[in-house]
Structure 1
Amino acid sequence: MNPKLELKIQNLPQLPGVYQFKDSTGKVIYVGKAKNLRNRVKSYFIKTQPTNPKINALVSKISDVEVIVTQSEVEALILEANLIKKLKPRYNVSLRDDKSYPYIVITNEPFPRVFSTRRIKSDGSRYFGPYTDAYSLKQTLKLIRDVFMVRSCKYYIDDETITKKKIKVCLDYHIKKCGGPCEGLVSREEYNKMIEQVAQLLNGKIDDLVGHLRGQMEKLAQELRFEEAAVLRDKIKALEIYTSKQSVVSIEPVDRDIFAVAIEDEDACGVLFKVRDGKLIGSQQFFMTGAGYKGEDEVIETLLTQYYLSSDYIPGEILISQNIEEADSIEKWLADRKGMPVKIRTPENDDEARLISMCKVNAKYHLDEFRIQKIKARGEFAPNVLRQLQKELRLDRLPRRIECFDISNIQGSDIVASVVVFENGKPKKSEYRKFKIRSVSDKPNDFASMFEVIQRRYSRVLGEGGKMPDLIVVDGGKGQLSSAIKALENLGVKEQPIIALAKKFEEIYFPGIDQPQSLPKSSPALHLLQRIRNEAHRFAITFHRDIRAKRTFSTKLLEVKGIGEKRAKVLLSKFGSIEGIKQAPIEELEKILGKSIARNLKEFLEKE
């Protein structure tokens, strides 16, 4: 520790507050809270502490410390959460940005609107979510539209707009989907009472809402206002159908948030189960970074403070998988926001333990998915079958990119070749290529054909500065493999992983080994090679058939009086097939061939 920093730490106040560690560039790398700032900051530099690689790395980079004194531990807690969210220091556990998920917003307007959005603005609007399930979001918005007469227009409506009648009622008013606030057909007080009911629904307090609506319905029925009572009856029915689809997890009608986390290396995932009136109404996932060497209790504490910093609704009870050090401070903070006591605790019975366990299982699942996506984004993900293939073929590197060649011909005519590309075990059809063999024309010669296509393929790849594949597979046996190796040697390519896969016994030929090798028939690695080989064969056969059909078609056209090779090519190019020409209007054919020849062609095709 440098003398300047040591002196600064010795003079820190013994009061609650927040400390910020900075590196040599002045960047904040860690934010923490403390009941006693001097003691807490000094503790980082005590060498008798147990070794923690992450703390050691943090301490080695500390060049300065800045503190903010607060009046209480609760204030320190809130300030720490805000600073972490704002600064995202490298060594803190911090929630990843969830702006990609949609929210439902109730706008801050005299006559609020309700819609989904991905942009959160600090304009006094209320946000509910985020919704990680798009279907759940759509169903909720549909329910709101079915039950409540919330306006859907984008106009800003206030008393001046209504007085001047700048906006006229739209179709929604006439089909009873909107009360018509734009023309003052519903008062602001009445409209905003309805909006509060929407907020109740979004907070999961559906039972309370149904009870309130049922009371209103019964009152209207007593006053013989049956049509209005029937409207409320239909709303109640829609709400009851919606809530019946939610899982009952508690006999008591409690409101409770349940949190659990899963941690692996630097990544963590927290899952929240929302229980309202004893029913599980939904879940959310939160991904965190910087969790390495942090305990489960620290990660849960960070999750709670970061989540409730912006949450619109706070239940009376929060269930967590492990006790946290700052539970009392967080309870006081949340109680102040809610206006009534909030209890944070761990499971006390088997049912609660079961819910925590289910929450943890979900957290582990989502964390695994998140890590797989990260690996994929870095291009490091590989299916297990590729690892097995690498082992079975004794390859130095993982065969992420495999290219397979096949030759197709019938009695030496129209010899073609194909190459198909598989990346990470999946076909990449945009990079499939087909070749017409030029060097062989009189009789079939698969060896010469393979030599040509390998040379053409990789002379172009190398000429364009491309990379060779991790594995080349040729369809055939020892002869085809030798021809392919010779073509590669001519191009100066050495130590290229290459094999041949023979169809008859599904044997594999390796360079420099006379006898073929076999993989177990049940081997997933063999199944992958077969799939790639079959795809190359299919692609080559399809190309071969196309060429043969066009050649046959072109030959037939030459039988028509007045049609030579040039006109036959034009017809093929424009209409593609015999059926295409057959279906073509006579006027189109006359433009190309003239009236007489077009008539001859039509007659010929009818006979054919």
Structure 2
Amino acid sequence: MNSKLELQLKNLPSQPGVYQFLNKNGKIIYVGKAKNLRNRVRSYFQNNVTSPKTLAIVEKTEELQIVVTDSEVEALILENNLIKQFKPRYNVNLKDDKSYPFIKVTNELFPRIYPTRHLLNDGSKYFGPYTDVKSMKASLRMINQIFRIRSCKLDLTEENINAKKFKVCLDYHIKKCDGPCEGLISAVAYNEMVKEVIQLLKGRTDELIKSLTEKMNNAVENLEFEKAAELRDKINQLTSISSKQKIVSDDFDDRDIFAIAFEGKDSSCSVFNIRDGKLIGKKQLRLSIEEGEELPHIYSAAIKFYYQDFAEIPKEIVLEIEPEDKDAILEWLIQKVNNKVKFVIPQRGDLKSLVKMCKENAMLQLKEIQIQKMKNLGNVPYPLAALQRDLRLKNLPKKIECFDISNIQGSDSVASMVVFVDGKPKKSLYRKFIIKSIEGPDDFASMREVIERRYSKLLTENETFPDLIMVDGGKGQLSSAVEILNKLGFRNYNIIGLAKRLEEVFFPGKSEPETIAKTSSGLKLLQQIRDEAHRFAITFHRQRRSKRIISTELTEIKGIGTQTAKLLIEKFGSLEAVKSSSLEELASVIGIKKAELVKSHFNQSTE
């Protein structure tokens, strides 16, 4: 820590505000907010910090800048604006946020409705963001089919209309517009129609249908049959739309459901918009994160990004876990909407199912992101790329060999080697080893023998060396393998040990293990390889043990051969089960004469 930074840390105020960490080039690398700047900022520089992200931030920080605010909510707003402006490396950032369009309802005498990517504080109403452009265009087409909203850009002030400056266009003649440019519809009637459009954009379709039905009935009573017919056509179109909207809750409440899926530096956030109990829209946010980011922090960032601009805020926001800074975010949302807002974490029921469905959507989008990355890498399987990243390997681990030892108290000790090529098992390259030089349960010595036999043979046969060697076990098994590889003259190789207890990864020369994020597909690939090696070793061990038991116990009985002994073991599973079986059970497998021989033998041995 340089003297300037040390002095800044000593003089931090105990007030709410925003802090910015700058690197040696003066670039902002992280922005955060705090209820108490002194306590929060100093916590980054404590000796007990273990977070890789925090350690990286501290290591690269050369200067600190702070802005004091009147409240934590003000700090939250400023933090969000600074993140959006500077996109610091170690903050969760919204990818492609400028590309998300909105539907704008202008603040004019005769409002226009059109898509825009520029948000202005001009009194207009904005609906969105629409992360799916097709969905937004479909909404606009639906509005144009049902409502006669003007499409022109004319400056329709009262003065211009009264001066007869404009003439109606084709839209008027084909009944797509009511001609406000010539004063053929009043501003009051036109804005009443705009209110109906806003109801539709907010997902209040059923409310709108009810309101239009009342107007239609009034028109019929007043003998305004043409007007009633127009309203009827509107109602029919809206009813068709409403019937296609999925009912997902019986309480008819408004809520947004958030779910996040992430791995490595990629994260996807799925948002379901539920209004009046109906699912009216789905939105996807793609987030850029740093490795080691925690889920509550990602949720906090996603919520702030989504509601920062003009997205409608419902009374309930449903999540799988509570976001970081929950209270400050809630207070900020309440101030924005001037109404009550709460977070809901469902434990069971329909809302829990909706969160699960939303999560599946987020995971699907994350897979699409990974597939796209895979294509960019030249169709490299994503788990391999993730494993290269997680283990910090120079090259892609296309060929991986994994070893496992299996024995019961040192008896029938065997080992397995499984091979994965391009992330898939290559069973033709699997190998089995019978431990020859070791007596008793010594996994370390057994590992030394197997590694020496395998890679001595590899040297003589000039076979391709694996990109990654993996041993099932901890530091002891790994050290044994490294000892032999070095003895054989190998130098540039990659080897790890994977311990079962906490899925810890051991590296050569390091006393403490490292952990890989549980969501990483790289870790899932390691687990798959380890489990396959374990399965292969266990299967071979059972075969060896069964063969030994058959040859030493059952085949001692006069009149019982190897084939008969094998039938009994396959049927009953073990020698003890054969011993405890009745004469009838044995006879059903090998016939009465041989069954009597077996039963007689074991009866004599127990006397």
Q: Return the offset for 1:118.
A: 4.3
Q: Return the offset for 1:169.
A: 0.7
Q: Distance in 2 between matches of 1:195 and 1:167?
A: 22
AA aligned to 2:239 is: E
- In terms of mean alpha carbon deviation, does 220-229 or 131-140 score higher? 131-140
Q: Equivalent residue for 1:297?
A: 296
SS in structure 2 of the partner of residue 204 of structure 1? coil
Residues 102/338 of structure 1: CA separation in 2 closer, same or farther (3 Å cut): closer
Q: Equivalent residue for 2:46?
A: 46
Q: Distance in 1 between matches of 2:98 and 2:4?
A: 41
Q: Distance in 1 between matches of 2:226 and 2:27?
A: 66
Q: Distance in 2 between matches of 1:334 and 1:98?
A: 20
Whether 1:205 and 2:204 are equivalent positions in the alignment is: yes
Q: Equivalent residue for 1:4?
A: 4
Q: Return the offset for 1:356.
A: 0.6
Moved over 6 A (4+): 396-399
Q: Equivalent residue for 1:18?
A: 18
Q: Distance in 2 between matches of 1:19 and 1:257?
A: 31
Q: Distance in 1 between matches of 2:328 and 2:365?
A: 30
AA aligned to 1:45 is: F
Q: Equivalent residue for 1:591?
A: none
Q: Distance in 1 between matches of 2:250 and 2:3?
A: 62
Q: Distance in 2 between matches of 1:357 and 1:173?
A: 48
SS in structure 2 of the partner of residue 321 of structure 1? coil
Q: Return the offset for 1:175.
A: 2.5
AA aligned to 1:105 is: K
Superposed CA deviations along residues 188-215 of structure 1, whole A, max 9, x for unmatched, are 2322222222122112121222222222
Contact 1:143–1:238 (8 Å) recurs in 2: no
Q: Distance in 2 between matches of 1:162 and 1:129?
A: 32
Matches within 5 A, 1:111-260: 111-121=110-120, 123-260=122-259
Superposed CA deviations along residues 387-437 of structure 1, whole A, max 9, x for unmatched, are 9xxxxxxxx9999xxxxxxxxxxxxxxxxxxxxxxxxxxxxxxxxxxxxxx
Q: Return the offset for 1:239.
A: 0.7
Q: Distance in 2 between matches of 1:362 and 1:397?
A: 30
AA aligned to 1:65 is: L
Q: Distance in 1 between matches of 2:396 and 2:68?
A: 56
Q: Return the offset for 1:236.
A: 1.2
AA aligned to 1:87 is: F
Residues 23/382 of structure 1: CA separation in 2 closer, same or farther (3 Å cut): closer
AA aligned to 1:366 is: Q
SS in structure 2 of the partner of residue 86 of structure 1? helix
Q: Return the offset for 1:123.
A: 4.4
TM-score between both structures, scaled by the size of structure 2: 0.61
SS in structure 1 of the partner of residue 203 of structure 2? coil
Whether 1:345 and 2:344 are equivalent positions in the alignment is: yes
TM-score between both structures, scaled by the size of structure 1: 0.61
AA aligned to 1:21 is: F
Q: Distance in 2 between matches of 1:19 and 1:134?
A: 36
AA aligned to 2:24 is: S
Contact 1:16–1:69 (8 Å) recurs in 2: yes
SS in structure 2 of the partner of residue 286 of structure 1? strand
Contact 2:104–2:126 (8 Å) recurs in 1: yes
Q: Distance in 2 between matches of 1:143 and 1:130?
A: 18
Contact 2:102–2:130 (8 Å) recurs in 1: yes
- In terms of mean alpha carbon deviation, does 311-320 or 263-272 score higher? 311-320
Q: Distance in 2 between matches of 1:381 and 1:130?
A: 33
Contact 1:260–1:271 (8 Å) recurs in 2: yes
Q: Equivalent residue for 1:326?
A: 325
Q: Distance in 2 between matches of 1:352 and 1:248?
A: 12
Q: Equivalent residue for 2:496?
A: none
AA aligned to 2:38 is: R
Q: Return the offset for 1:187.
A: 2.1
Q: Return the offset for 1:129.
A: 2.5
Superposed CA deviations along residues 341-367 of structure 1, whole A, max 9, x for unmatched, are 011121143211111111111111101
AA aligned to 1:167 is: F
SS in structure 1 of the partner of residue 99 of structure 2? coil
Residues 132/48 of structure 1: CA separation in 2 closer, same or farther (3 Å cut): closer
Q: Equivalent residue for 1:430?
A: none
Q: Distance in 1 between matches of 2:199 and 2:136?
A: 16
Q: Return the offset for 1:240.
A: 1.0
Q: Distance in 1 between matches of 2:381 and 2:341?
A: 47
Contact 1:17–1:34 (8 Å) recurs in 2: yes
Q: Return the offset for 1:99.
A: 3.2
AA aligned to 2:37 is: L
Q: Distance in 2 between matches of 1:113 and 1:241?
A: 25
User: 5+ unaligned residues in a row in structure 1: which ranges?
Assistant: 388-395, 400-608
Q: Equivalent residue for 1:84?
A: 83
AA aligned to 1:93 is: V
SS in structure 2 of the partner of residue 139 of structure 1? helix
Residues 26/132 of structure 1: CA separation in 2 closer, same or farther (3 Å cut): closer
Q: Equivalent residue for 1:362?
A: 361
Q: Distance in 2 between matches of 1:316 and 1:176?
A: 39
Q: Equivalent residue for 2:488?
A: none
Q: Distance in 1 between matches of 2:131 and 2:24?
A: 40
Q: Equivalent residue for 2:503?
A: none
Q: Return the offset for 1:32.
A: 0.4
Q: Return the offset for 1:176.
A: 2.1
Q: Distance in 1 between matches of 2:298 and 2:266?
A: 10
Superposed CA deviations along residues 535-563 of structure 1, whole A, max 9, x for unmatched, are xxxxxxxxxxxxxxxxxxxxxxxxxxxxx
Q: Distance in 2 between matches of 1:190 and 1:70?
A: 46
SS in structure 2 of the partner of residue 280 of structure 1? strand
Superposed CA deviations along residues 86-140 of structure 1, whole A, max 9, x for unmatched, are 1111110011123334432223333221123445455444332333444433332
Contact 2:320–2:346 (8 Å) recurs in 1: yes
AA aligned to 1:283 is: K
Superposed CA deviations along residues 25-82 of structure 1, whole A, max 9, x for unmatched, are 2211111011110000000000112x22221111111111111111111111111111
Contact 1:291–1:299 (8 Å) recurs in 2: no
Contact 2:147–2:197 (8 Å) recurs in 1: yes
Q: Equivalent residue for 2:379?
A: 381
Q: Distance in 2 between matches of 1:171 and 1:61?
A: 63
Q: Distance in 2 between matches of 1:205 and 1:291?
A: 39
Superposed CA deviations along residues 301-331 of structure 1, whole A, max 9, x for unmatched, are 1000111011331111100111123222222
Q: Return the offset for 1:160.
A: 2.5
Superposed CA deviations along residues 246-300 of structure 1, whole A, max 9, x for unmatched, are 1110011111000010111011110000001101111111011124211111100
Q: Equivalent residue for 1:372?
A: 371
